[in-house]
Structure 1
Amino acid sequence: MPRFSEEVCERLGNYVYRLIDPRNGETFYVGKGRNNRVFDHAEGLPEILEDDSQTLGSKLDRIRAIRNAGLNVLHVIHRHEISDAAVFEVEAALIDAFPGLTNVQGGHASSDRGPMNHLELIDKYSLPTLPEPAHSLILININKLEDRSDRKAIYNLVRYCWRVSKERAEKAEYVVAVVRGVAIGAFRPLRWLPATPENFPDIPYSDGSEAHRVGFVGEEAPSDVWDMYVGARGKRITEPQLKHVQNPIRFWKCS
């Protein structure tokens, strides 16, 4: 695979790139880097993958499958000469534009400033604000929700499954479901359990690979608590430490 010369690397500066599967033309990863980072990722070099906190088996498996087919990973440098301050925003916008990526984390501030329709934007800036919590809370981001009025769907998405300490989670009185910076559901966890088929038989499973994560069995919060944190159509989260950037979990008064 070709490499950039030192002169080209110096001119490129920060850049954002896509990795593409030549078998179907599908973009499967978006990343940022400098120098020859794009080639190292496309080749699946172990030392690069080990240093990449966004990499899990799905990306490496895709690269191996491409190479086992006798092909090379394609790539596109989408934007270069990007300032340090802007590179995260450019990467995030590109991640938002390509669904189904193998990136483990979403783009920088995607949950707060990512793609929204006009109704979501109106809600984000005109709904009442979330008050100072009167309880210990876990706020969990569930941006894959399709219908904010479906309380059952909200519950099923927010309760399963998260990479969080079971002991710390058990300190929370309520779990608040968040979509694009708006609290849209509140639930009382009754039990936090390892995310196994035995503990969550109603969740579709392919294997028991989520056992290192946890979920909860619970119920809707009492009406007065729901009204406090959600209200009729949701409440905006304006407190900086409660906003979701990349980590989907935020704790409040759970230490």
Structure 2
Amino acid sequence: MATVWTIPIDITSRWLDNSEVQTFLASNDLDNAAPDPRVRFAQFADVTKSLERHIGHTFSSVQGAATALFDGIDGGVPVALKLAALRLILKEVYQTRHAPQPFPKRVGEELGTYVYALLDPRNRSVFYVGAGRGPRVYGYVWEALAENEHRQTLEDPETDSAEVKAATIARIREIYDSGHEVEHYIVAHRIADTGDVAGAVRRGVVGALGLNEGALLSNLAGGTGEHRAVPVDDLVLQYAAEPVPNLPTPCVVLEVPAASRRGVTQEEVYELSRGAWAAGAAVRNTDDIPVIVFADNIVRAAYRAKSWSSVARPGDAALWRFAGEPDTELESQFVNKRIVPAKVGLKKWPNHGWVPHLTQARPGR
């Protein structure tokens, strides 16, 4: 275990809520603290700005952290405020480094030539963008962590300059030393297959910029998936997954994009899946009708709908919300498997996400 001092992305809210800070601002009896509350507030504001400037930075010693945070502040910083800041950013980390594993060859074939981005989770910023094939997306992390066996699986040579390579590896090691892991995203793939290199480059640039915290690109308006950067793990799941078996008839297939969100719980997936949906009488009158929920072409959950209730939305057609229960048998058959529109007789998924599958012939209401 090692001790580091890392300024997290949510430092401002944590700093404002800190009890030591509140005591400093309210008390006139602290050592080395000015009796005038206006002076103390100005010192507090200076330290706040310094912490915000250093978001994402990690220091291996308390001296290094104190020098970077406080030495440039005119008039100095009271001891009580220094200690409060240093204690807040103190972190003990385990040095175990979980290197990403090579993905199956089939996944690499599906990805083709792709553009990828490496993201620093400490401040949610992209620090490297590259291109390649196969497991190239993991190349620099493997080199930084000395995973030489994994590096033997790389299919294409690294083309960056020595300076870029050194800077990237140094950043990766700093991220892991702070107790975090690099996040890997694919921002455009199958580039050689599209025939539209300029469009692929555009999607890659927009996708990479969209990863940055607070990105305001108008290209991202409406939440369209066209430019969305996708975590590598999600694409590996999608392309390595087995196809779903034949769907039960009747059933309902629901596309719920948020079901693939990182960290989403099963309870949240259920609430997201319930609707409102344009459920016709044929669906609502079928007892215990199976409900198959997917996102990014991967089944995420399976339920049995027990009842339906209307949702009042003025100006819209009747919409309905279901109440149901997870079905373990359906889950074992379908969850984490790949589903495509052709499975229900479609060429593409409808934008509204509602796909009743009432007969073997075609979808219906």
TM-score range, shorter-chain basis?
0.3 to 0.5
In the superposition, the TM-score normalised over structure 1's length comes to 0.47
In the superposition, the TM-score normalised over structure 2's length comes to 0.34
Larger Rg: 2
Q: If each structure's strand is expressed as a fraction of its own residues, which one has the higher value?
A: 1
